[in-house]
Amino acid sequence: MKTLTLKLFAALTTFAIAFSGSCAHAAGFQHGFAADAEGKPLEIGIWYPSQAAVKPIAMGPIVMNVAVNGPAEGRALPLVLISHGTGSSFLGHFDTAIALADVGFVVAAVTHAGDNYADQSRSVDVMDRPRQISRVIDHMLSTWGDRALIDPARIGMFGFSAGGFTALVNIGGIPDFSTIEPMCGQYTADFACRLLAKSSSNPAVPRTSARAPAADARIKAAVVAAPALGFTFSPDGLKNVKVPVQLWRAGEDVLVPHPRYAEAVRLALPQAPDYRVVPNAGHFDFLAPCSAALASIASAICVSDVGFDRAAFHASFNAAAAGFLDKALRAGTGN
């Protein structure tokens, strides 16, 4: 397995150097907030290409090698939004964000208001999540200090679990929540069903914001991993999805089990996605590999099945996501 890890790392390094015909960058990093007229400012992490020297920075139990506030560089850079799963934060996919920044993307990840590690009071208000993503896009294009470096025609999205649901709505999906009651009546152990059952609202239907957004047409491609509530999307509900989708499923996912989630989305998409099934992976293997400190306080999201190497998987996963987004976001630009 060590040999496999080294081979994948070498492949990723080679990919990074060749990516878009340019040299790899280091990742700059900024921590900030995006204004939200309908609530408190949204916490965001921003990773971007920079030639500044990186150094380890600790944010709670997570350590990243980044150049904090290093000068951004490049021009006409693609932007990728990251939407995390229930109860997480903007740091949940920091390794993917760094990998994307290293090869020329600007990445903005949000801590979803009311559905994060510190506050899950609105975790079933799933239709407010896409609106929050749109506010972050607004911020990156109109307020971020280096906004002039972003190509507004090249915006993509990555979403995991509840974030995968968010991404599907952001690119045009319309969920049918009437499917939840019969599905959860039959599969009470599914994570979404247990979450809804604990909610003070009607357990059969998520709270849907009166501000329910339309698709954000600025998003031109999406990487969707282990999407929550996948069964709520029928072919009719995804008929308006016109952008390329890379869809991932963990082979041993017990939180969003096959075939009711990713497979349901695959069958409903009007255009066949770039579909990837990861043998022996569990739901949380899409999260960044855990530090010892994080594993000591959150073992449930850090433990992989025996024989599954999360670090090795992420080397190939990050490269595949970056390659897909680069190709998809260049498709209509003439580059």
User: Residue 31 domain-assigned?
Assistant: no
What is the rounded average pLDDT of the residues 22-38?
84
Give the pLDDT mean for 38-48: 96
How far lies 177's CA from each of 124, 213, 237, 261, in Å?
A: 12, 15, 11, 14
Number of domains in the chain: 1
CATH of residue 271's domain is 3.40.50.1820
Mean of all residue pLDDT scores within the chain: 90
DSSP, collapsed to helix, strand or coil, labels residue 249 as: strand
Give residue 197's pLDDT. 85
Residue 126 lies in a domain: yes
Mean pLDDT of 62-75: 97
Q: How high is the pLDDT of residue 81?
A: 98
Distance, C-alpha 317 to centroid of its chain: 12
Query: Residue 3: its pLDDT value, please?
Result: 35
**Identity (one letter) of the amino acid at 116?**
N
How is residue 277 written in tokens? 């099934």
Q: Is residue 22 part of a domain?
A: no
Ranking 52-66, 68-82, 189-203, 273-287 by mean pLDDT, the lowest is 189-203
Q: How far apart are CA 129 and CA 122, in angstroms?
A: 10
pLDDT digits (tens, 9 = 90+) for 216-256: 999 999 999 999 999 999 999 999 999 999 999 999 999 99
Q: Is residue 30 part of a domain?
A: no
- Which residue range forms the structural domain that includes residue 112? 2-9+39-330
Residue 155 lies in a domain: yes
Q: What is the pTM of this model?
A: 0.90
Q: Is residue 19 part of a domain?
A: no
Give me the mean pLDDT over the 5-32 stretch: 51
Binning pLDDT at 50, 70 and 90, where does residue 305 land?
very high
Residue 248 belongs to some domain of the structure: yes
pLDDT at residue 199 in the model: 76
User: Percent of the chain having pLDDT more than 90?
Assistant: 83
pLDDT tens-digit readout, 163-200: 999 999 999 999 999 999 999 999 999 998 988 888 75
To 10 degrees, what angle do helices 129-142 and 162-170 make? 70
pLDDT of residue 173: 96
pLDDT at 198: 82
Report cis status (omega within 30 of 0) of the bond before 259. Answer: yes
- The answer to whether residue 63 sits within a structural domain is yes
The predicted pLDDT at position 291 comes to 94
The pLDDT score that the predictor gives to residue 202 is 56
Q: Indicate the pLDDT class of residue 8, thresholds 50, 70 and 90.
A: very low
